[in-house]
Amino acid sequence: MTHWPDDDVILYDGVCVFCSRWVRFVATRDVERRFRFTAIQSPYGTRLAQAFEIDPSDPDTNAVVHGGVAHFKSDAALIVLGSLPGWRWTRALFAVPKPLRDGVYTLVARNRYRIFGKYEECFVPDASMRARVME
């Protein structure tokens, strides 16, 4: 696991339609405004990705820094979901073996552009989210 000084930061692919919807989903439900977001295409996101050995030009995972530790793939998604009101039940999915969870995650991640589409340029959050974006 990799440590990072900023906490509760979600690293995502800003040109991925699915990933950008994920960010909006989290932001809408994160009533405590705990999580902040950074696109892998931003200067901060690129530094974060490189620190985690994620290729910024071909990201294969999202990541979340939680408790000072970076989590990837299904662990990242479940940590975020499990922190949201009404979604804490998803913590039970940690009982599913990690290779199976990550296998499903990887299948979706590899096909995300084909299934969900891709923006021409990085997703720009609306004004209500802008204060939570780290660039």
Residues 53/107, Cβ–Cβ less than 8 Å: no
Rounded average pLDDT over 123-130: 69
Give residue-wise pLDDT tens across range 107-126: 999 999 899 988 876 766 66
Residue ranges with strand state E in 1-135? 9-12, 36-39, 63-66, 69-72
DSSP, collapsed to helix, strand or coil, labels residue 37 as strand
* N- to C-terminal Cα separation, the chain: 23
pLDDT higher than threshold 90 for residue 55: no
Q: Where are the alpha helices (DSSP H) in the chain?
A: 17-29, 43-51, 73-82, 98-116, 127-130
